[in-house]
Amino acid sequence: MTDDKAVTVLGLGAMGSALAGAFLAAGRPVTVWNRTPGKAGELVARGATEVATAEEAVRASGLVVACLWDHRSVHQTLDPVTGALAGRVVVNLTNGTPGQGRELGGWAGEHGFALLDGGIMAVPPMIGGPGAFVLYSGPEEVFTAHRDALDALGESRYVGSDHGMAALYDIALLSAMYGASMGELHAFAMVRSAGVRAAEFAPLLQRWMAMVGGFHERTAELVDSRDYTRDVVSNLGMQAAAYHNLIDAAHEQGVSPELLAPLYPLMLRRTAEGHGHEDNAGLIELLFTRRSTT
Ligand SMILES: NC(=O)c1ccc[n+]([C@@H]2O[C@H](COP(=O)([O-])OP(=O)(O)OC[C@H]3O[C@@H](n4cnc5c(N)ncnc54)[C@H](OP(=O)(O)O)[C@@H]3O)[C@@H](O)[C@H]2O)c1
């Protein structure tokens, strides 16, 4: 018989340790396991129970949270203990693709346990704090039953019964983050090429990105309507002409334009197809490789 409030955390990397710490802070009995022993000292000092095998860890709680390296490591850890998982709930917070989330959901069903797949939108020090949010998908009744426990990690966001949805949202958000990161690094490289310290430039970058970030709702309206001609103030043709300067300027300054380069041919193609007068949100129409999903 396990304590109803008990939680097991599999994986004590930077993130798994933060998750276990947040469950402890919420007053839950926590059992932890890590492939390589010796990482639980601090958590044990705070009241966690460390066990030597994944099977013991799984048997200790009705709710089992996995935060491992990748999809493969989730199977490597859980395949041998599916017998012990029957009747329990697994919350997989290991980063993966939508397809991997769906595969795990089907695999859990075959073995008689419920699975929520998740995506953590925070770095470890944020876990349990107001800025963190975690995406979940899978059976809604399972999410609802365990929401109280999961809320210890940050704001819990349920995004659908399809097991792939949490990973889809996660990957979409990370894609936007990496796009912004590419722009940030290129911008710093440009100013550094002229001897300007990044710290000096950063406040302007912060201000500019905060302003640019405010356009998402407008872009969303255009994307949803598929009408990119409404209230255009910066048309694509004009932007394509100016974008060439971004690439030329990088060459002039001895900076590789490779982080910027992929957008340019798309701009040219869309303009050549007669959409130069439209908003650049219309570039999205060039991204789909399967017509049926659009
Ligand atoms: N850190 C972040 O900022 C962050 C943010 C959001 C999401 N995430 C996601 O959280 C997950 C964990 O990240 P992390 O930051 O905790 O990584 P980490 O510090 O590198 O830890 C990786 C964990 O995975 C375990 N592991 C690796 N291969 C394994 C295998 N084959 N079988 C069993 N366990 C295995 C490691 O165990 P050993 O100690 O034995 O190597 C360790 O516990 C990843 O999917 C990551 O994408 C991380």
- 157 in the same domain as 11: yes
- 155 in the same domain as 17: yes
CATH of the domain at 20: 3.40.50.720
Please tell me the distance between residue 11's alpha carbon and the centre of ligand 1 in angstroms.
7
What is the DSSP code (8-state) at residue 87?
T
- Number of domains into which the chain is organized: 2
pLDDT at 228: 98
How many Å apart are CA 70 and CA 167, to the nearest integer?
Answer: 12
The helix (run of H) or strand (run of E) holding residue 30 is strand 30-33
Domain end among 118, 146, 161: 161
Please tell me the distance between residue 111's alpha carbon and the centre of ligand 1 in angstroms.
24
Cβ < 6 Å from ligand 1: which residues? 11-16, 34-36, 39, 67-69, 73, 76-77, 94-95, 120, 123-124
Domain end among 139, 161, 183: 161
- 137 in the same domain as 84: yes
Whether 62 contacts 89, CB under 8 Å? yes
- 154 in the same domain as 40: yes
Kindly list the distances between the CA atom of residue 47 and the CA atoms of 2, 7, 179, in Å, as whole numbers in the listed order: 17, 13, 41
What is the DSSP code (8-state) at residue 91?
E
Q: Could you read off the pLDDT tens digit of each residue along the chain, which spans 294 residues? A: 578 999 999 999 999 999 999 999 999 999 999 999 999 999 999 999 999 999 999 999 999 999 999 999 999 999 999 999 999 999 999 999 999 999 999 999 999 999 999 999 999 999 999 999 999 999 999 999 999 999 999 999 999 999 999 999 999 999 999 999 999 999 999 999 999 999 999 999 999 999 988 889 999 999 999 999 999 999 999 999 999 999 999 999 999 999 999 999 999 999 999 999 999 999 999 999 987 655
How many Å apart are CA 135 and CA 157, to the nearest integer?
Answer: 5
pLDDT at 222: 97
138 C-beta neighbours (distance < 10 Å), count:
29
- 248 in the same domain as 155: no
Ligand 1 closest atom vs CA 72: 31
pLDDT at 214: 80
pLDDT at 1: 58
pLDDT at 2: 77
In sequence order, the 6+-apart residues with CB closer than 8 A to the CB of 194 are 253
pLDDT at 98: 98
Domain of 216 in residue numbering reads as 193-293
- 52 in the same domain as 137: yes
Strands 49-50 and 63-66, bridge-based pairing: unpaired
Whether 146 contacts 89, CB under 8 Å? yes
